Amino acid sequence: MSFTYRDGELHAEDVPLAAIAARHGTPTYVYSSAMLRSRYRAYVEAFADLAPVVCFALKANSNQAVIATFAREGAGADIVSLGEMKRALAAGIPASRIVFAGVGKTADEMRAALAAGIMQFNVESEPELRMLSGVAEAMDARAPVALRVNPDVDAGTHAKITTGKAENKFGIEMAQAPDVAALARALPGISLEALSVHIGSQLTTMAPFRAAFARLGDLARRLNATGPRLRRLDFGGGVGVVYRDEVPPDLSAYAAAVREAVAGLDVGIVLEPGRSLVAEAGVLLARVIRVKEGTAKRFAIVDAAMNDLIRPTLYEAWMPIMPVRAPREGANLSPMDVVGPICETGDYLARDRDMPPLAVGDLVVVGAAGAYGSAMGSTYNSRPLAAEVLVSGSRTALVRPREDIEAIIARESLAPWQA
C-alpha cells in the first residue's frame, strides 16, 4: 500500500504527510507514483494476451504529472474536450493513442483532433456522424470512427454516473446501430473502424459488464457480415474501486468477459479506465480549523471544502477519512461531521463518521480522492484551487501550486464604463 502508518504517522510512500503539509500547506492533493504505475500495469497484465490500448480517462484526473506518469508507461488517453487533448499531447501521449469521446464535440474540436491525427472519434449520434464527415471532407481527410452504442444495461450505480441505459444521453441505441453503421460506411469523410460501449462508473459487479460486452460482440459480428471488418472494439471504463466496503470485480474476471465477447473476432482491444487508475492513488490532505460541539452534532471544521472535493455532496459519496497521526490505542471514537468553511449546508466531507478526538491544527486525509477530486475543483467562495503534490519514494514535487487569490482576481476586468 502507498498510504500507510509508520511509527504512528501516515505516509505517502516514504514521505510523512505531515512533512508535505508543513512544506506546501493545506488543502493539498497528494498522489503516489508507485500506485499510479501499479494500477496501470495491472490492466496491462490482465489483458496481456489481447495487447490492449489502455487509454487513461483524463476526466478522472487531469494533472499533467499524473498524465505523464501513465504516458511513460505507454498509456493512451480517453478525452472529452479539446483542452483534454492538448493536455494529453503535452504530457507525452501520442495522438495515435487518443480516443475522443463525448456527446457534444464541436466542429472546431473535430478539426483540431483530425489535424492531430487521433486514433478514433467515439461518435454518439447520427447528427454528430454527419457533422464529422463534413468537417473531414472539407479537410480532405477521413475521420476514424467508433460508433458508441447504448446497450440499455443498468450498471446499478449512482444515477448521475450511469451511462448505458436507454434514457441516458450517451450512445446510439442498439436497434438503430446497424442503420447508423451503414450510413457511416457511405459517408465520404468517415472510416468506420470500431464499436464502443461504456455503461458507467464505479461498477462493482460483473453482470452488467458481461451483458454489455456480449451485446457489443454480437453487433460486431453482424456488422462484419454486411461490410468491411471492424478493426477494434472499445470496452469503455474499468472496474470500480474501494471507498468503504465495496468488492470490485477482479481484473482477471473483467478480462475474461472481454475475451468471451471477442471470441472469433480478429479485433484490437481498447480500454478506457479512469477512476480505477487514480482514485486510490490520491488523498486530500486537510487541517482542522476548529472543533464545534453542538447539542445534537459534533463538527470538525477543516480547511478543505466542497470546492476542493465535491463528490460527497454531489453524489452522496462515502469517502474514507482518517487522522494523519494514528489515534492512540483504545481511543474513544464518536460520531462527527467533517465539514468545510463554505457557506453551504452541503459543504461536508463526511457525516456522522466515527472519529477519534480531533483538535485544532490536527491533520486529516480523505482517502481514495485521486479521481474526480482536483479535476472537479472550483474557486467557489473565491477559494483558491488546492495544491497538488506527486510523491515517488522519498521524493516529492509540487505539480500544481496553490492558486494566488490576487492572480485569480487579476484574470477578471472591469467593464470599460466602470474604469
Alpha-carbon distance 290 to 307, whole Å? Answer: 19
C-alpha span between 311 and 304 (Å, rounded): 13
Question: Residues with Cβ < 8 Å from 44, sequence gap 6 or more?
Answer: 52, 54, 73, 74
Phi, psi angles (nearest 5°) of residue 118: -70, 165
Angle at the Cα of 412 from the Cα atoms of 411 and 418, rounded to 5 degrees: 150
Q: Among 312, 397, 388, 392, which residue's Cα sits nearest to residue 353?
A: 312
Give the number of other Cβ atoms within 10 Å of residue 79's Cβ. Answer: 30
Look at residues 122, 222, 98 and name the one whose alpha carbon lies nearest to residue 172. 122
Coil, strand or helix: which one is 9?
Answer: strand
Catalytic residue among 225, 263, 343, 415: 343
Side-chain half-sphere of 399: how many Cα atoms within 13 Å?
A: 24
343 included as an active-site residue: yes
CA distance to 297, 309, 326, 338, 415, per residue, from 291 (Å):
11, 20, 18, 9, 43
Pairing of strands 28-32, 282-293: antiparallel
Report which residue type is found at 78. D
Residues carrying an active site annotation: 343
